[in-house]
Copies of this chain bind each other. A is one copy, B any other.
Amino acid sequence: MEKHPQHCQVVVALDMIVGKWKPIILQHLIIGGTKRFNELRRLMPDITQRMLTLNLRELEEQDIIERVVYPEVPPRVEYSISEYGKSLEPLLDSMHEWGMAHLEHMKKKEKELGADDKSS
């Protein structure tokens, strides 16, 4: 295992979770467990049906979530984090924590800018 592989695989990880909705979908499925399609819609009132479908399909394709269709009437489809998807949880947790810390950092910065305004 090299220390400096040619190409940084950060982008590989990034590709799995980027997008306006993917992180939020994952958060809901991780924290809230299995959810039906319309449950997710209710949890994310601003997402369109189209984008929810597309994102769920991508995440499924990526093995991150599982999609189970129950052949009932009315239809029921349940989404959940896959076993493999769970390997992302530590990463998402770290990112969440860093995000929180960053918001603090920004607040401090703002204050400094207010107080520190005598610097040339």
A contact set with B: CB distance below 8 Å = 4-5, 8-14, 16-18, 23-24, 26-27, 31, 63, 84, 87-88, 90-92, 94-103, 105, 109
Residue in B16, B87, B94, B109 whose beta carbon sits within 8 Å of that of A91 in the complex: B94
Tell me if A12 and B99 are in contact (CB < 8 A). yes
Residues of B within 8 A of A99 (CB): 8-14
| Inter-subunit contact B100/A9 (CB<8 Å) | yes
Complex contact B8–A24 (CB within 8 A):
yes
Chain B residues near A95 (CB-CB < 8 A)? 9-10, 13-14, 91
Give the shortest distance, in Å, between A99 (CB) and chain B (any CB).
Answer: 3
Contact residue among B17, B101, B103, B105 (Cβ-Cβ distance under 8 Å from A10): B17
